[in-house]
Amino acid sequence: MSKWQRFAVLLVLLAGSAGAAAPTRMEVIKLSDWPEIVARSQPQILVVDIWASWCISCIERFPEMVAMTERYGPESVSFVTLNLDDPQDAEGIAWADAFLGRMGGRFSNYHLQENLTTSFEALDLNAIPVVLIFDGQGRERYRLTNDNPNKQFQKQDIEDGVQALLTERG
């Protein structure tokens, strides 16, 4: 996606969002750090939004994720984002940082330092966006993908997964 296309998407998404929070820097992590990040969320349910700046559907879905974080208390559900922009793409990473800051989400944002191919293989991904939902013991319970073009996941699928895990916990 060109710089101007990113700018146009950002303008559309942020229309009327004056007063947004200051930019949130992504914490750069290695794949080997990922299990520890998941473990730190326990005993909360963990919702992970895997995305990149070049993924239009990731960008379009992001406001829904921000809204969802405001509906659940941090004591029961944690939210994080995992960005897969190429570590050599300084422009893409800068755009992603600015986007996160403007969206105002109050959650941790991570960027994998490994390249896209390595990240996709290690996380067993075919495409993004992907939302992973972990239970309070750190087990992946839901993997919402758009791998099947005839069944794209929706916001309600995320809500249903979170609600099912909250109900299980009692």
Token output for 112: 């994998």
Q: Mean pLDDT over all residues of the chain?
A: 86
**Which residue did the predictor score with more confidence, 133 or 15?**
133
For the cut 70, the answer to whether the pLDDT of residue 141 exceeds it is yes
For 71-128, write each residue's pLDDT tens digit. Answer: 887 778 999 999 999 999 999 999 999 999 899 877 899 999 999 999 999 999 999 9
Model confidence band, residue 11 (pLDDT cutoffs 50, 70, 90): very low
> pTM for this structure?
0.83
Non-local (6+) Cβ contacts of 105 within 8 A are 24, 62, 65, 66, 69, 79, 81
Q: Give the model's confidence band at 3: pLDDT under 50 very low, under 70 low, under 90 confident, else very high.
A: low
Which pLDDT does position 74 carry in this prediction?
75
Burial class for 98, CB neighbours closer than 10 Å (0-12, 13-18, 19+) = middle
pLDDT tens across 32-74, in order?
Answer: 999 999 999 999 999 999 999 999 999 999 999 999 988 887 7
**Residue 1: is its pLDDT beyond 90?**
no
Three-state DSSP string of the chain: CCHHHHHHHHHHHHCCCCCCCCCCCCEEECHHHHHHHHHHCCCCEEEEEEECCCCHHHHHHHHHHHHHHHHCCCCCEEEEEEECCCCCCHHHHHHHHHHHHHHCCCCEEEEECCCHHHHHHHHCCCCCCEEEEECCCCCEEEEEECCCCCCCCCHHHHHHHHHHHHHHHC
Compute the average pLDDT of residues 144-166. Answer: 92
Amino acid at position 161, single letter: G
Q: Which CATH superfamily is domain 22-169 in?
A: Glutaredoxin (3.40.30.10)
